[in-house]
Amino acid sequence: MSNPQQLRYSKEHEWLSGAEDGASTVGITEHAANALGDVVFVQLPEVGDSVTAGETCGELESTKSVSDLYSPVSGEVTEVNEEVVNDPSLVNSAPFEGGWLFKVRITDEPADLLSADEYTAFTAG
Amino acid sequence: MSSTELRRTALDATHRALGATMTDFAGWDMPLRYGSEREEHVAVRTRAGLFDLSHMGEITVTGPQAAELLNFALVGNIGSVKPGRARYTMICREDGGILDDLIVYRLGEAEAGSSHYMVVANASNAQVVLDALTERAAGFDAEVRDDRDAYALLAVQGPESPGILASLTDADLDGLKYYAGLPGTVAGVPALIARTGYTGEDGFELFVKPEHAVGLWEALTKAGEGAGLVPCGLSCRDTLRLEAGMPLYGNELSTALTPFDAGLGRVVKFEKEGDFVGRAALTEAAERAASQPPRVLVGLVAEGRRVPRAGYPVVAGGEVIGEVTSGAPSPTLGKPIAMAYVDPAHAAEGTEGVGVDIRGSHEPYEVVALPFYKRQK
């Protein structure tokens, strides 16, 4: 699996895109999706919610487990992916594309987000 | 359990070559899934799936008094099992608590006057069962042998499994009934062929020597190619057995429960000859169950999409009325399902107002009779 170069990554296995119209897109990585197995339920924050870097803002359920969703940055949620709520399997089939989770207008971001190469090394370790 | 010294089955390299996600299961490094567990589940329901179950614990019991020993050590009437047949049974403590649920296969007579049984225990309980049988064998003319390393166990499950297996053996599969087993040759290797499984589908379990496991796996994979057979991991085995309403030790069964508390009192055979371990306590448990019904194991089907998990409280009218023992999204029903022990007042099919407390949120559930799924014969 390859992690797109243009994204940045958290150690909780979320990815973050560059800002577009002032908002960045957040999803979980393919590594995380593979570790979860088939995702069957996605609970996302609501539009207008404030999220805080490193804190939980939703949850992902798979066949075997339930996992918290962490926000990689602090900010305000501007959009959520309704398609992935209706069809959680998008997280498995297209984690970096159609399986995106929410968009956030960033107010603060931690200094320790990883590059694609750093994240690849992190998950290999 | 420590993960430092995981045991590996004879098929370990095969699983890794197939890209399996592995998991620590009762001290064994076992395939959890190869790809999508939901697709593996659907393959077993509609076509066929191939499993490595070599973690299961085989214990051989032989000798002139093998049947008497098993009648004493287990709650079932093993003496009535005919050669070539199998029986689902349990081993209990003196206080009636369930130590494990078992399948006992009666094999052919090795020699006149001596009978031969294979007891198959859950991996997590194999040592406990072996120790109990060994201890209970005192005074019987019978031998209890640890055969955990003597067998690999492969299972082919699903509606296409008879055709797939028939292409690799001359054994009379049509004559092999559910819960029967016979020695035969499969893909050129000697095997005990049993028509058992834990999926709710027709299927076979093949006990072979570990050195024959890889060759047999490859032969079954090739034979099943055209029928859509896929390798299947323990994740889908769990959802398959849950849909079929089959209990899992550690979830629905434990030493804290007697068979009567688990709704499985029928496995206890008081009418058999001789005493057996737990008889007095189980007699009381049966009377107690009749006069003061204990919590009942029921099925729950979600109206929403959130998945109940083992240990979640079952609620009604703001009160806790039970506890989930197993839960998962059901691929066949397309909804989350669960097994739960609930108070008898709320156990009837269609009882209104029952929910599961899912991390603080009360989600509505429908009470249904088990199983969730029954195959069309």
With CA atoms as reference, the chain B residue closest to A92 would be B36
What ranges do the domains of chain B cover? 7-54+151-243, 55-146+258-292, 295-377
Closest in A35, A37, A61 to B235, CB measured: A37
Determine the CATH number of domain B55-146+258-292.
3.30.70.1400
Quote the ipTM score.
0.75
Query: How many angstroms separate the CA atoms of B275 and A101, rounded?
Result: 62
Query: Does the beta-carbon distance from B309 to A66 stay under 8 Å?
Result: yes
Q: Which fold has domain A8-108?
A: OB fold (Dihydrolipoamide Acetyltransferase, E2P) (2.40.50)
Is residue B110's pLDDT more than 80? Answer: no
- Of A37, A41, A63, Cβ closest to residue B305: A41
Q: Which of B308, B295, B22, B42 is nearest to B158 (CA)?
A: B42
Lowest-pLDDT choice from B1-15, B305-319, B362-376: B1-15
Shortest CB distance from A63 goes to which of B37, B306, B359? Answer: B37
Residue in A closest to B358 by C-alpha:
A66
Question: Given an 8 Å threshold on Cβ–Cβ distance, is A37 in contact with B239?
Answer: no
Distance CA A54, CA A48 (A): 18
Tell me the C-alpha distance between A36 and A56, whole Å.
17
Within 8 A by CB and 6+ apart from B370, the residues are B245, B297, B298, B299, B339
Q: What is the pLDDT of residue A8?
A: 97
Average per-residue pLDDT for chain A: 94
pLDDT tens digits for A109-118? Answer: 999 999 999 9
Q: Note whether A37 contacts B: Cβ–Cβ < 8 A.
A: yes
Single-letter amino acid code for the residue at A35: A
Residues of chain B positioned with their CB less than 8 A from the CB of A38: 36-38, 329
B295-377 fold: Elongation Factor Tu (Ef-tu); domain 3 (2.40.30)
* Total count of residues recorded for chain B: 377
pLDDT band of B72, cuts 50, 70, 90: very high
In the predicted model, what is the mean pLDDT of chain B? 96
CB–CB contact B37 A38 (8 Å): yes
Does residue A64 sit at the B interface (CB-CB below 8 Å)?
Answer: yes
Q: Which CATH number is correct for B7-54+151-243, 3.30.70.260, 3.40.50.300, 3.40.190.10, 3.30.1360.120?
A: 3.30.1360.120
Task: Assign B113 a pLDDT band (cuts: 50, 70, 90).
Answer: confident
Alpha helices in chain A (DSSP H): 30-36, 82-86, 90-93, 116-124
What is the predicted pLDDT for the residue at B1? 47
Token pair for residue B17? 């070559």
**Strand bridging mode B48-52 / B152-157:** antiparallel
Residue A61 contacts B, CB cutoff 8 Å: yes
Per-residue model confidence (pLDDT) at position B142: 97
Mean of the pLDDT values across residues B245-262?
A: 97
Fold matches, B7-54+151-243 and B295-377: no
- Burial category of B191 from C-beta neighbours within 10 Å (exposed 0-12, middle 13-18, buried 19 and up): buried
Q: Which residue(s) pair with B63 in the sheet?
A: B115
The pLDDT value given to residue B269 = 97
Which whole number is the average pLDDT over B31-58?
97
The β-bridge relationship of strands B48-52 and B229-231 is parallel
Task: Give me the mean pLDDT over the A99-112 stretch.
Answer: 96
Q: Say if A50 is an interface residue toward chain B (CB within 8 Å).
A: no
Residue of B nearest to A85 (CA): B305
pLDDT at site A125: 66
Percentage of residues of chain B with pLDDT beyond 70: 99
The domain ranges of chain A are 8-108
What is the reported pTM?
Answer: 0.91
Q: Give the confidence band of B207 by pLDDT, cuts at 50, 70, 90.
A: very high
Quickly tell me which residue has 């323990």 as its tokens: B234
Residue B249 CA to residue B247 CA, distance in Å, equals: 7
For the stretch B132-187, pLDDT in tens is 999 999 999 999 999 999 999 999 999 999 999 999 999 999 999 999 999 999 99
